[in-house]
Amino acid sequence: MKATADFSRAKLLCFYGAGFLALLAFAILAAGILLITKGVVFNGIAAILGAVATFAWAVYLYKYYQKLDAAGKPGVKIEDLKKEGKA
């Protein structure tokens, strides 16, 4: 993977996408809790599991953003990131 510039559409989309997914996860979690309190337990649990999966996706996307950001900095090699477990 080649190093990206300071401004990159991929980095921008990853950053804002991760933020949007995190907010969406909290909204889904709130909906799941509301469903459980109304007595629709199965759908509430399914919504809560969906919120956990959405938040995990947001974390993965943010880690990918950090990898893109680190690769664009001068003096950082992709091989060094792989040794540290960041790539």
Token couple for 47: 């919504």
The answer to the question of residue 69 being in a domain is yes
| 78 has a pLDDT exceeding 70 | no
**What is the overall mean pLDDT for the chain?**
85
In angstroms, rounded to a whole number, what is the distance separating the alpha carbons of residues 32 and 86?
A: 33
In angstroms, rounded to a whole number, what is the distance separating the alpha carbons of residues 80 and 76?
A: 7
The answer to the question of residue 1 being in a domain is no
Q: Could you give the percent of the chain with pLDDT greater than 70?
A: 75
Q: How many domains does the chain have?
A: 1
The answer to the question of residue 4 being in a domain is no
Domain range enclosing 66: 13-84
Please give the full DSSP string across 56-82, using - where no structure is assigned: HHHHHHHHHHHHHHHHTSTT--HHHHH
The answer to the question of residue 63 being in a domain is yes
Q: What is the pLDDT of residues 6-46, one digit of tens each?
A: 677 888 899 999 999 999 999 999 999 999 999 999 999 99
Q: What is the pLDDT of residue 86?
A: 54
